[in-house]
């Protein structure tokens, strides 16, 4: 776990603190999903892709 955190930290240029504690917190979640954030991200991404298909694949720049 620590090797992965070190690798990702170096790759993305961010400092990781107490990543094992965060991992344990995620594993302790009692709802249906341990990956709630990723599930919501995936859902929103798919919605955005479908909207793009309906608009001819063009998005407004923000």
pLDDT at 32: 67
Question: What integer is the mean pLDDT of 47-60?
Answer: 74
Residues 6+ apart with CB under 8 A from 23: 1
Question: What integer is the mean pLDDT of 23-51?
Answer: 82
Q: Which long-range contacts (CB under 8 A, 24 or more apart) does 2-10 make?
A: none
The per-residue DSSP string of 37-59 comes to: HHHHHHHHHHHHHHHHHHTTS--
pLDDT at 60: 60
pLDDT at 42: 93
| CA atoms of 60 and 39, how far apart (whole Å) | 25
pTM above 0.75, yes or no: no
> Residues 45, 46, 51, 52: is their CA dihedral positive or negative?
positive
pLDDT at 37 over 90: no
């Amino acid at each position: 776990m620590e090797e992965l955190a070190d690798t990702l930290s170096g790759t993305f240029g961010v400092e990781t603190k107490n990543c094992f504690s965060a991992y344990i917190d995620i594993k302790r979640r009692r709802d249906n999903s341990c990956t709630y954030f990723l599930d919501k991200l995936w859902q929103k991404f798919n919605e955005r892709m479908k909207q793009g298909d309906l608009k001819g694949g063009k998005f407004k720049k923000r």
